Homo-oligomer: A and B are copies of this chain.
């Protein structure tokens, strides 16, 4: 592409900006150079939907780098990869085993496909109250209980970097001769350095989706889907990807995927090592000189991504949301917060300057904050002690939203009165985008309390801005029978 850019020529084709220099200063500053790469499918530039040239070559190099047999560039994030993973392996009415704390794109994929899901509850980490990964014993049990399952779809690592023993699960799933489908959105950097957890591909997962933009250096929406082994129909997955992805895929994002691959393949070990030294230093400093703690390897998960530091205030003064706000005042933008933790994401390019700014911020916050000790702090409560969802759910089938919620004037009732009723919508705190309630799911006491907590701490919800103010939409018998 850079080669194509260096040619002097006139563009009588899309995109309409024609690679020309924008006239407005603000547009020029950001878009001038990238516009020169913003092409369409010209001679020599290949075609993502029928690759045989440079895109084919870039995808082959990606397969080699990540250890897959075939790799595909995704231009609509891991979202489209998760959709393709479901639509490409199961037909309407088929049954998939699905880890419950999956990303909303997995649930949307189930809705789009008409595939039935049996949800498997992950383990709950006793130390933090967070949902981690699947227990291999539970997987074994589910495989025996549902021998008709077409595959197991799990998320590894979770948003906090916690992971499970993939190799053990992979072996079990393969013993039933069905594929293991892994949403590895947060683990594209795995497998390139011995001090990081192993990759899903190295655990022989059959389909793996990675957000190359999250932990590696691609542009946002750049992701990959990797395939190996004989258990999935590759032609079908390719066709589904071609159906779902734009017929005008972004060349800048494709180029950034290729560059991110080159970056991790060639410089990965050195960069990962470098960041690890920063992380080790930071951890030591936090332990020795601050009241903050961070999630450490625990009993209820097997692997932990060293590049995710989930900070919490051991004095119980600051909630996760409060700590995140304070960090922002000192110029440190975190990935997300929950009621207790602030999640800090370290990348391949985290440097000394970032580290010092963070240390200074934490020092200042601990001096400031703990002088104003609060009375009714919620930060130290563990709301997860309540009984969660069943370990293995009964098969659930989702329709598209409209089939579930027949009327736009659906009933909303206060959260406190919603226990025992069926939720009409997905309720998704974002980030991390993991639904707490599914459409049609009976609202448990646990879920109601958890949502109340999140709302009080200032969490935002997608599609449902004011859970506490306007209540929660539920399915009433009337609406259901329409």
Q: Are A221 and B250 in touch, CB under 8 angstroms?
A: yes
Q: A26 — which chain B residues lie within 8 A by C-beta? A: 2, 259
Q: Are A16 and B240 in touch, CB under 8 angstroms?
A: no
Q: A259 — which chain B residues lie within 8 A by C-beta? A: 22, 24, 26-27, 31
State the CA gap A33–B400 with chains docked (Å). 40
State the CA gap A425–B349 with chains docked (Å). 46
Q: Which of B30, B91, B246 contacts A79 (CB 8 A)?
A: B246
Q: Oligomeric state, in number of copies?
A: 2
Q: A334 — which chain B residues lie within 8 A by C-beta? A: 12-13
Q: Are B358 and A16 in touch, CB under 8 angstroms?
A: no
Query: With an 8 A cutoff between CB atoms, is A50 at the interface?
Result: yes
Q: Which of B13, B22, B345, B462 contacts A12 (CB 8 A)?
A: B345
Given the known A-B contacts A33-B33, A91-B402, are A248 and B221 also in contact in the complex, defined by CB atoms under 8 Å? yes
Q: Which residue of B lies closest to A348 (CB)?
A: B16
Q: A430 — which chain B residues lie within 8 A by C-beta? A: 41, 47, 49-50, 247
Q: Are B248 and A220 in touch, CB under 8 angstroms?
A: yes
State the CA gap A244–B463 with chains docked (Å). 14
Query: With an 8 A cutoff between CB atoms, is A338 at the interface?
Result: no
Q: Are A12 and B354 in touch, CB under 8 angstroms?
A: yes
Min CB gap A439→B, angstroms: 10
A4-36 near B? 1/0 per residue, CB < 8 Å: 000111111111111010111011011111111
Query: With an 8 A cutoff between CB atoms, is A108 at the interface?
Result: yes
Min CB gap A402→B, angstroms: 5
Given the known A-B contacts A2-B26, A14-B213, A400-B240, are A49 and B463 also in contact in the complex, defined by CB atoms under 8 Å? yes
Q: Are A220 and B345 in touch, CB under 8 angstroms?
A: no
Q: Are A331 and B9 in touch, CB under 8 angstroms?
A: yes
Given the known A-B contacts A9-B333, A17-B217, are A253 and B250 also in contact in the complex, defined by CB atoms under 8 Å? yes
Q: Are A50 and B347 in touch, CB under 8 angstroms?
A: no
Min CB gap A67→B, angstroms: 19
Q: Are B350 and A18 in touch, CB under 8 angstroms?
A: yes
State the CA gap A344–B11 with chains docked (Å). 9
Q: A22 — which chain B residues lie within 8 A by C-beta? A: 217, 259
Q: Which of B80, B220, B262 contacts A15 (CB 8 A)?
A: B220
Query: With an 8 A cutoff between CB atoms, is A341 at the interface?
Result: no
Query: With an 8 A cutoff between CB atoms, is A242 at the interface?
Result: yes
Q: Which of B33, B49, B242 contacts A32 (CB 8 A)?
A: B33
Query: With an 8 A cutoff between CB atoms, is A111 at the interface?
Result: yes
**Interface-centre pick from A9, A220, A236, A350 (highest chain B CB count, 10 A):** A220
Query: With an 8 A cutoff between CB atoms, is A472 at the interface?
Result: no
State the CA gap A29–B80 with chains docked (Å). 29
Given the known A-B contacts A15-B214, A104-B247, are A219 and B31 also in contact in the complex, defined by CB atoms under 8 Å? yes
Q: A24 — which chain B residues lie within 8 A by C-beta? A: 259, 262-263
Q: Are B335 and A235 in touch, CB under 8 angstroms?
A: no
Q: How many A residues touch the partner, as a band?
A: 35 or more
Query: With an 8 A cutoff between CB atoms, is A431 at the interface?
Result: yes
Within A455-482, which residues are at the interface with B (CB < 8 Å)?
Answer: 460-463, 465
Q: Which residue of B lies closest to A410 (CB)?
A: B235
Min CB gap A101→B, angstroms: 15
Q: A195 — which chain B residues lie within 8 A by C-beta? A: none
Given the known A-B contacts A30-B252, A214-B16, A236-B401, are A354 and B10 also in contact in the complex, defined by CB atoms under 8 Å? yes
Q: Are A345 and B33 in touch, CB under 8 angstroms?
A: no
Q: Are A76 and B246 in touch, CB under 8 angstroms?
A: yes
Q: Are B221 and A75 in touch, CB under 8 angstroms?
A: yes
Q: Are B247 and A345 in touch, CB under 8 angstroms?
A: no
Interface contacts beyond A38-B219, A79-B245: sample of 12 additional A-B pairs, CB < 8 Å, sorted by A: A12-B335, A13-B333, A14-B345, A30-B34, A39-B220, A41-B430, A47-B462, A50-B430, A78-B246, A112-B112, A213-B248, A240-B401
Could you give 19 example pairs across A and B, Cβ below 8 Å? A12-B335, A14-B211, A15-B220, A16-B214, A16-B216, A16-B217, A16-B348, A24-B263, A34-B252, A42-B333, A49-B430, A76-B80, A76-B245, A87-B400, A103-B247, A214-B248, A220-B248, A235-B408, A240-B400
A residues adjacent to B (C-beta < 8 A): 2, 7-18, 20, 22-24, 26-27, 29-43, 47, 49-50, 52, 75-80, 83, 87, 91, 103-105, 108, 111-112, 189, 211, 213-221, 233, 235-236, 239-240, 242-253, 255-256, 259, 262-263, 267, 328, 331-336, 344-351, 353-354, 357-358, 400-403, 408, 430-431, 433, 460-463, 465
